[in-house]
Amino acid sequence: MNAPHNPLSSLSPVDTFCFDNRYARLSPAFYRKLAPTPLPHPYRVSISHKAAALIGLDATQAEHPDVIEMIAGNRLPLGADPLAMNYAGHQFGTLVPQLGDGRALLLGEILNPQQQRWTLQLKGAGPTPFSRHADGRAVLRSSIREYLASEAMHALGIATTRAVGIVGSDQVVYRETAETAAVLLRIAPSHVRFGSFEVFYYRNQTPYLKELVDEVIETHFHHLQPETDGYEQFLIEVIERTARLMAQWQAVGFCHGVMNTDNMSILGLTLDYGPFGFMEAFNPQHICNHSDEGGRYSYENQPAIGLWNCSRLAQALTPLIDAQKCNDALALYANLYREKYYALMRAKLGLGISQEGDETLIDSLLDQMGTHGVDFTHWFRALCGFSSTSLRLNQSALSYLSTPLPSALTQWLEQYTQRLATEPQPEAERQAHMRQVNPKYVLRNHLAQVAIDKATTTNDFSEVDHLLKILEHPFDEQPDEEAYAASAPDWAKNLSVSCSS
Which residues are the active-site residues? 262
114 CB-side CA count, 13 A:
8
Cα 97 from Cα 352, distance rounded (Å)? 47
Q: Which amino acid is at 368?
A: Q
**Distant-in-sequence, close-in-space partners of 451: CB < 8 Å, separation ≥ 6:** 144, 148, 463, 464, 467
Q: Which amino acid is at 1?
A: M
- Three state DSSP letters for 149-197: HHHHHHHCCCCECEEEEEEEEEEEEECCCEEEEEEEEEEECCCCEHHHH
363 CB-side CA count, 13 A:
6
Give the torsion through C-alpha atoms of 316, 320, 322, 327, to 10 deg: -40
Q: Are 64 and 13 in contact (CB under 8 A)?
A: yes
DSSP state of 479: G
Cα 320 from Cα 247, distance rounded (Å)? 29
Cα 365 from Cα 410, distance rounded (Å)? 11
418 to 382, 414, 415: CA distances (angstroms): 18, 6, 5
| Burial of residue 166 (number of CB atoms within 10 Å: 0-12, 13-18, 19+) | buried
The helix-helix angle for 302-316 and 230-252 (nearest 10°) equals 160
**Distant-in-sequence, close-in-space partners of 126: CB < 8 Å, separation ≥ 6:** 36, 37, 38, 73, 103, 105, 135, 136, 137
Handedness of CA 234, 235, 236, 240 (dihedral sign): positive
Cα 124 from Cα 121, distance rounded (Å)? 10
Return the SS3 of 109: strand
